[in-house]
Amino acid sequence: MAIPTNIKTLLSGDVVEWARIEFKETWDPATSLKTVCAFANDLDNWGGGYVVIGVEEENGRPVYPLKGVPLDKLDSYQKDIFAKCKLIRPAYTPIVGIETYQDKQFIVLWCPGGESRPYSSPKTMAKDNKERIHYIRKASNTVEPSDDEEKDLFQLANRVPFDDRVNHQAEMSDLNITLIQNYLKEVKSSLYEKAMTGDFTEVCRDMNIVSNLPEYTKPKNVGLMFFSMEPDKFFPYTQIDVVQFPDGLGGNDIIEKTFKGPIQQQLREALQYIRNVIIAEKVVKHPDRAEADRFFNYPYAAVEEALSNAIYHRAYDEREPIEVRVENDRIEIVSFPGPDRSVTIEGLKSYRVSNRRYRNRRIGDFLKELHLTEGRNTGFKKILDSLEKNGSPKPEFETDDDRSYFITRLFIREGFVKNEKRPDVSGVSDTNLKNETSFETSLKQVLKQKDYKKLEPVIAKLAKEDTISIQEVMELTKKSRTTAWRYMQILVECGVVEVVGSTNNVSYRRI
């Protein structure tokens, strides 16, 4: 069986955290078996970890040049690994792969969190040893648990996270091989070639997205979330709703856009939509210096991290979508339920959060492989840093005492508020200037030359008629719906047109 990532990724530490990787120059069962046991126990729901044999380490990092495993040791090491892993109780066997990198061979043990926690392994390899320990990981170390940690471990014994459970209502045919192949190619997994030519069920087993019982093969929830074309068939309201309120919460116009499909796809499509339609850049020139100030209404990095975290941490057994609410002065990202109780309300207010009980450990692994999230509590810092760099106000994070919801609130950057001073377009929409020449000439003076050229056929039509539909904009500009929408936002921000209608039937009316 092959590991679900590649050796180069493991050695870089960019996707899989260093704390989840242990490097061994040789196979040493006395120490390595304890690490395998600790990864299997997965006390903090990290998703297990990897033991890489053939790499010398220093302070938890690989030492170059890499040594690799001698060819004459590959077979004996593997046999001893399987033999010694039989000493773990209850039964647990890691997935062992042979990886080639820089013309050297390495043995990689993938140790996902087990379903029969807690696991124990012998304290020593001595024949007369009878003492067994439930080893756990603390940072990058394998240690014996304290009394409280051992109690936690036993409490987790029957708690298989929802995303790692077998879905008894689904069939193997609900998993899409093309989505699986695309994922493996993107993360450069050695499983990709096997997915193109090998047995489909075996590939799914290698990825740990199906049950392991040969007589009862069913997809796991995480497999359906990422590799089913319609995950909402199994998890209703697994979707992202982007809702815009152009005239504020009390206005009549609401623009809605819903994103469905595999969760990595809906996340990427929703982010692309927000980047194209919601995010705007402003350039302020100064007479006393050559450099202009450039800033955004909302920094994309902050929105990306907040929405990715919502996908990561929401509960997929709750029938509530993720909602992105776009108002005149803020973006709110609402998900259900709230964070673990280890995250305090006071900590949210002071931006000091340390959460080690991730709700969806497997979803987190896949998102990290796709570089869609980082994990390890770095999300808050990334949001704060991007807002500060853009000159935006600090965010707000909100939940209630029952942890029933979570809101990330990002505020618009000063200089983009709707009632701020706009370019002088006086007379553009005045009823006395309905003639074609006045309307076009006025906008030509206000808009940048490149923007006017994009919108020229639209402006010509609006000079003659009061309303234009998004379909007409698409036909006149020969652009996609998203691009046409973005073009029209230029006129909306100038205050010469307003949005009317819903997402599927949107039009623009001269003010």
Q: Residue range 495-507: average pLDDT?
A: 74
Task: Give the pLDDT of residue 355.
Answer: 59
Element (H, E) at 307: helix 300-313
Would you tell me how many other CB atoms lie within 10 Å of the CB of residue 227?
25
Residue 251 has pLDDT above 80, yes or no: no
Give yes or no for a contact between 371 and 382, defined as CB atoms under 8 angstroms apart.
Answer: no
The strand pairing partners of 53, in sequence order, are 24, 107
Q: How high is the pLDDT of residue 142? A: 93
pLDDT digits (tens, 9 = 90+) for 368-425: 899 888 655 567 888 999 999 999 999 999 988 888 899 999 999 988 865 444 444 4
Coil, helix or strand for 12? helix
Q: Which two tokens stand for residue 73?
A: 């040791």
Instruction: Write phi, then psi, for 440 (nearest 5 degrees).
Output: -70, -40
pLDDT-based confidence at residue 435 (cuts at 50, 70, 90):
very low
User: Each residue of 387-399: b (16+ CB within 10 Å) or e?
Assistant: beebebbebebeb
Q: What SS3 state is found at 24?
A: strand
- Ranges 210-224, 251-265, 438-452: which has the least confidence: 438-452
Band (pLDDT 50/70/90 cuts) for residue 357 is low
| Closest C-alpha among 226, 236, 230, 232 to residue 204 | 226
Check: CB of residue 266 under 8 Å from CB of residue 310.
no
Would you state the pLDDT for residue 502? 60
Q: What is the pLDDT of residue 310?
A: 94
Question: Does residue 436 surpass a pLDDT of 60?
Answer: no
Asked if 399 and 348 touch (Cβ cutoff 8 Å), the reply is: yes
Q: What tens digit of pLDDT does each residue of 440-450 get?
A: 777 877 777 88
| Distance, CA of 300 to chain centre | 14
Instruction: Give the tens place of pLDDT for each residue, 214-243.
Output: 667 899 999 999 999 999 999 999 999 999
| Identity of the amino acid at 299 | P
- The token pair at 181 is 């192949």
Nearest to 235 by CA among 316, 165, 337: 316
pLDDT digits (tens, 9 = 90+) for 159-186: 678 898 889 899 999 999 999 999 999 9
- Report CA Rg, the chain: 28
- Which of helix, strand or coil describes residue 57? strand
DSSP lists the bridge partners of residue 499 as 508
pLDDT in tens, 289-336: 878 888 999 999 999 999 999 999 899 988 899 999 999 899 999 999
437 band by pLDDT with thresholds 50, 70 and 90: very low
Neighbour count for residue 309 (Cβ, 10 Å): 23
Beta bridge partner(s), residue 120: 89
Burial class from Cβ neighbours inside 10 Å (0-12, 13-18, 19+) for residue 176 reads middle
Lowest mean pLDDT among 66-80, 100-114, 223-237, 447-461: 447-461
Q: Are 142 and 34 in contact (CB under 8 A)?
A: yes
Q: Which residues contact 259 (CB under 8 A, 6 or more apart)?
A: 239, 240, 241, 242, 266, 267, 269, 270, 273
Q: Which of 71, 37, 36 is CA-nearest to residue 50?
A: 36
Helix extents (H) in 67-107: 71-85
Report d(CA 378, CA 374) in Å as an integer.
Answer: 7
Q: What is the pLDDT of residue 420?
A: 44
Place of tokens 């380490």: 57
pLDDT(212) > 80: no
Query: In one letter, which amino acid is 172?
Result: M
- CA 374 to chain CA mean position, Å: 8
pLDDT > 70: what percent of the chain?
91
Of the spans 310-324, 338-352, 474-488, 497-511, which averages the highest pLDDT?
Answer: 310-324
Residue 432 has pLDDT above 60, yes or no: no
pLDDT number for residue 358: 66
User: pTM of the prediction?
Assistant: 0.60
Residue type, 381: K
Is the pLDDT assigned to residue 429 strictly greater than 60?
A: no
Q: What are the backbone dihedrals phi and psi of residue 468, each rounded to the nearest 5 degrees, phi first?
A: -140, 140
Residue 29 reports pLDDT greater than 90 = yes
Q: What is the maximum alpha-carbon separation in the chain?
A: 100
**Distance from C-alpha of 362 to C-alpha of 312, rounded to nearest angstrom:** 9
pLDDT value of position 434? 40
* Average pLDDT of the chain to the nearest whole number: 86
Q: Count CB atoms within 10 A of the CB of residue 456.
A: 16
Q: In whole angstroms, give the CA distance from residue 190 to residue 365.
A: 17
Rounded-to-integer distance, Cα 286 and Cα 107, Å: 60
Strands 281-286 and 289-296, bridge-based pairing: antiparallel
Closest CA to 52 of 37, 35, 65: 35
Nearest to 192 by CA among 456, 183, 201: 183
Residue bearing the bigger pLDDT, 499 or 274: 274
pLDDT exceeds cutoff 90 at 15? no
